[in-house]
Amino acid sequence: MTAVRKKKTPVAVAETAERIIPKRALNYSSRQVKAPNWMRFMLGRDPAPGKAEWAEMVDALMEGDKPMDELVNWMFEFGARDARALFMRALEHGIDAVPDAPEPLRQFFAVVDDVPDWVDWELMDEGVRFSHRIGLAGAYILRDLALMGGYLLSGFNKALVLTGALNKGAGQRIAETGKWWMDCTEINGMQRFGPGFKSTTHVRMVHAMVRRHLPERPEWDNAEYGLPVNQIDMVATYLAFGPIMLLGVRALGIPVTPRESKAVMHLWKYTAWVMGVEEKWLVDDERAGLVQLYHTFVTQSPPDWTSMELGSALSKEPLQRTLKELKDWPLLHEWRLKLQYHMHLSTSSLFLNKKQRRQLGLPQDIYPWFPLLTAGPRFVWYTSQRLLPSSRKRLEKMGRSLQKQAMASMFGEKEHAIINPGEKHPAHV
């Protein structure tokens, strides 16, 4: 239940008066960090960070991913294009596949190839299978609650806007993120040569490129926004796939056992470690994850124009999809896309109030009809299907099939691939 983290003492906090505190972070005060009463009741404790915890997070806004950042620095000294080719060969086939591999490359893969002692592969597999069983419910929560709601915390929106990640091509970027999630939730996907491990390590390299180059742009200011893709922003992102997803699927009618909860948290704990999140920020259970997530909120600035731009673009993304099975029926195809558009908005309205929807540029006259109408039948269906092992396997197969269909509709005719930065992207080589 307890996060594996080292706490700073109050003395250490006092001694760090020269720290850079990005303007996006809230000042530490009981008024600023106080948690609402409903959250205290739900978690059984006050989730507000202490002053030492607050200081540790503020420091982490200026911290990146040291192993990968050092490797990327070497790549540009060596020759970025050639070094990247060596990196990709080592990632795909192992460091031994690179003859006379440069020492910096060997050092990095010595770190990521060394699986932590706490990794439980059986538990990882259970987390993956649960992700299959929930079908599209997980996708709705990750998209319509975690991602959409995350845009209200504008601290890291600036990096998304400057990289053109979601506001200029929401459909493509959502598809790429979905592909990464699918890779991570493949059976054995996070094993060393599994698709999830390789996709995650590739994204980790892209993040380091962004940290290296984005601060060079005049629109970016570390003193205001913190380091791009810093430790705290990575922590907040990783927790969306664990506790937020689990809370959300329950709201959609899917029961979650303690074992399933533990398995999902473990899956994303290791995935976050591979992504470059420091071990001190990783947690083992939902409650600890929600407390950790609340802690990250005090490093976020309130909604601004980026929230509206990103939220509006995301809301319209379903209208850009291509449903191959209906391509010969244009009117039906258009009707189906509009239905999906309203289903996603309806799901967001279950979790986001009217003020929040306005801040995200969403229509105001939307109601949670879709989750309310489907939660009951979904609960009955999932409860009955878990009674027998054969039923669970059938549910896993069916759920994964639906996820693949949704992925195909987002990519359309384009290649199913994770992010490949274009010329204007700070991670382009």
Query: Can you spell out the DSSP letters for 323-380?
Result: -GGGTT-HHHHHHHHHHHHHHHHHHHHHHS-HHHHHHTT--SS---HHHHHHHHHHHH
- Show Cβ contacts of residue 17 under 8 Å, excluding neighbours closer than 6 positions: none
pLDDT in tens, the chain (429 residues): 444 443 333 333 333 446 778 988 888 775 566 777 777 777 887 888 888 998 999 999 999 999 999 999 999 999 999 999 999 999 999 999 999 999 999 999 999 999 999 999 999 999 999 999 999 999 999 999 999 999 998 888 888 888 875 555 777 788 889 999 999 999 999 999 999 999 999 999 999 999 999 999 999 999 999 999 999 999 999 999 999 999 999 999 999 999 999 999 999 999 999 999 999 999 999 999 999 999 998 888 889 999 999 999 999 999 988 888 888 898 999 999 999 999 999 999 999 999 999 999 999 899 999 999 999 999 999 998 877 878 889 999 999 999 999 988 887 766 656 666 655 555 556
Report the pLDDT value the prediction gives residue 414, as an integer from 0 to 100. Answer: 67
Backbone angles phi, psi at 45, to 5 degrees: -165, 165
B/e letters for 127-161, b = 16+ CB within 10 Å, e = fewer, are: bbbbbbbbbebbbbbbbbbbbbbbbbbbbbbbbbb
Alpha helices in 44-156 (DSSP H): 51-60, 66-78, 80-93, 103-112, 121-133, 136-141, 148-150
SS3 content of the chain, % helix, strand, coil (to 5): 65, 0, 35
As a dihedral over the C-alpha atoms of residue 259, residue 265, residue 270, residue 272, rounded to 10 degrees, the angle is 170
| Whether the Cβ atoms of residue 208 and residue 72 lie closer than 8 Å to each other | yes
Q: What is the DSSP letter of 23?
A: T
What does the angle CA 302 – CA 307 – CA 309 come to, to the nearest 5 degrees? 155
HSE value, Cβ hemisphere, 13 Å, CA-based, for 290: 19
Report the pLDDT value the prediction gives residue 33, as an integer from 0 to 100. Answer: 65
* pTM of the predicted model as reported, rounded to 2 decimal places: 0.90
| Whether the Cβ atoms of residue 150 and residue 230 lie closer than 8 Å to each other | no
- Cα 351 from Cα 9, distance rounded (Å): 37
Amino acid at 87: F
Burial of 220 (0-12, 13-18, 19+ CB in 10 A): middle
Q: Is 145 helix (H, G, I), strand (E, B) or coil?
A: helix
What does the angle CA 111 – CA 115 – CA 119 come to, to the nearest 5 degrees? 145
